Amino acid sequence: MPDPTPHPLDQLAERGDAQAPALVLRDRTLSYEALRSRVALLAGWLASQAEPGARVASWGAKGELTCLLPLAAARAGMVHVPINPLLKRAQVAHILADSGAALLMGTRARLATLEESDAPAPCQQFEEAEVFAAAEALDARLAPSDHDPDALAAILYTSGSTGKPKGVMLSHANMWLGAVSVEHYLGMAADDMTLAVLPLSFDYGQNQLLSTWYAGGCVVPLDFLFARDVVKACAKHGVTTLAAVPPLWVQLAEIDWSAEAVTPMRRLTNSGGALTPDLVKDLRGIFPQSQVFPMYGLTEAFRSTYLDPHLVDSHPTSMGSAIPFAEILVIGDDGELCGPGHEGELVHCGPLVAQGYWQDAERTAERFRPAPDVSEYGGTAVWSGDRVTRDEDGLLYFVGRRDAMIKSAGNRISPQELESAAVATGLVAEAAALGVADDRLGQAIHLVVRAVAGAEAPQQALPKALQRELPNFMQPHAIHWLDRLPLNPNGKIDRTAIAKEIGK
C-alpha cells in the first residue's frame, strides 16, 4: 500500500528531479526546476489579485496556464475552478455565478463570447497571455505551502441527473491521494511520458497531470481535432501512458499506428464507460505489449475501482476491485452488506470522498451520507446510486444506474439541462431527453419534444437553435416530434413510456 499521508497539493511540483522534463509545451519543455519556478511565479501573482479562499476559474485550451493553475492556486490558498473548454456562454455564466469566481482566465476568443452580466460583478477577466506577462512583471514568488491538506483546493463542475451542473468540492488531500493511488496501481515511474488528451476540467483528465508529476514523470498536453493527431503525438514524444474514454478508443482502434507510436506504450487506461470485449481485442492487436486498465469512477469520489490487466481477458465485463485508499461496499436496500451475487448500491468510503457539493446542502445530503456501520473508514461515504454485484472473488460488476443521467462519449449530461435549453428556444412546449444504448458512444442522446402551437418550421429551427446554445457533446443525436408526451400517475413526464413510444 502506498504512503497514505496527504500533503498540500502544490508540493507535487517538488517531486521530480530538478533537470528532468516535467511539461512539454508547444514552444518549449519545462524541467521540474522550471515547473517549480513557474508555479511559484503564478502563485505569487494570484495572491496579489485575490484573497485566500477566493475561487479562480480557467476557461482555456491546454497549455502552461491551465496545467499549472491546479498547483499555483493551491499554493496561493485559493480554489481552482477549471471550466470545460467545450462549454458555451450559458453554462460558463452559471459556473461563474455559482462559484462566485473572483478571477476568470481564458483565451481571448472564449472570453469575447461572454456578455457583461455573465460574470459576477467583482470577477476580473484576464487573457492567458496577460497572466504570465503580469506575473513576470510582478515577480512575487511563493514558496511551497504548508496548507491544511483538508482545505478546499478545487471545485469541479459536473452535471447531475436534474438541474444545472453542480460543483464537487475537492480538498488538497483528495487530489494528492488520488495522484498517489493512480501512480501506485498503474506502476508509473520517473521515465514515464503521459499524453494528456482528456479535458483538464475532469478529475480523470486533471489526474493525468498529478499522478505523472507524483511519479516524477513528464506530461504532454494535447488538444486534438482528429484521432490521427493522437497517434502522431505518441510517436513524436515516445508516449508510455495514454488515458481515454471508449468513443476515443474506438476511433484510435480504427486507424493505423506506427511502430514509433506503439513500441514505447506501457499502459492504456479507460474510464467514462465500459470497454467492450471486441474493443479490448482490437487494442491488444495494436498494443500487444501494453497493459490495459479498465476503471470506474465518479467525480464525487474521484476513482473507485480498476480491473487488474491480467484479469481483463478472463473477466472482460468486470469493474474490478477497489483502488488504493478506496473502500467499496455493496449495500442492499435493507441497508445491509450484500453477499456474492446479490445486487446492491455501490457505496464508496475513505479519504478520496469529496467534501460535498458547493453551496448545495440539499443535494450534498442526498449523495454524501454516513458510511455503513461495516465500513472500516467510517465518516462520510458517497452513495453512488449505481447498482452492482460482487462475485466470489471480490470482483464487481455493473448492473445499472439509478438516476436518469445520460453518459455519452465520456460526458455526463443532465437531461433537465438539455430539456430546459430546448424549451427556452420557444419552439417546443415540452421536452424529454433520453440516453439510448449505442456501441460507439455508450449512450446516444435522443430528444423527444412537442412543438409549440403555431411555431414556424420548428423541425428545421430547433437543431440550429441548440447548436447556438449548447456545446457539441450535448447536441442530440436524434430528435423525435410527438403530438403529446405521456405522463405518469403523478403528472410527470413518463420517460419509460416515451422510450417505448419511440421504439427505444
Q: What is the mean pLDDT of residues 65-77?
A: 98
How far, in Å, CA of 383 to CA of 380, rounded?
9
C-alpha cell at 106: 481564458
Residues 6+ apart with CB under 8 A from 126: 103, 104, 105, 134
Top CATH class of 406-501 equals: alpha beta
Quick: pLDDT tens for 421-457. 998 899 988 889 999 999 889 999 999 999 988 888 8
How many other C-beta atoms can be found within 10 angstroms of the C-beta atom of residue 448?
27
Quick: pLDDT tens for 187-235. 999 999 999 999 999 999 999 999 999 999 999 999 998 999 999 999 9
State which H helix or E strand residue 68 sits in: helix 64-75
Three-state DSSP class for 206? helix
Kindly indicate the confidence band of residue 487, based on its pLDDT and cuts at 50, 70 and 90.
confident
Cα separations in angstroms, 423 against 33, 434, 481: 53, 15, 13
pLDDT at residue 491 greater than cutoff 70:
no
HEC-encoded secondary structure of 91-142: HHHHHHHHHCCCEEEECHHHHHCCCHHHCCCCCEEEEHHHHHHHHHHHCCCC
Domain 17-147: CATH architecture, name and number where available: 3-Layer(aba) Sandwich (3.40)
Spell out the domain ranges in the chain. Answer: 17-147, 406-501
Report for 121-125, 328-332, 491-495: range of highest mean pLDDT: 328-332
Residues 6+ apart with CB under 8 A from 171: 149, 150, 151, 152, 153, 354, 355
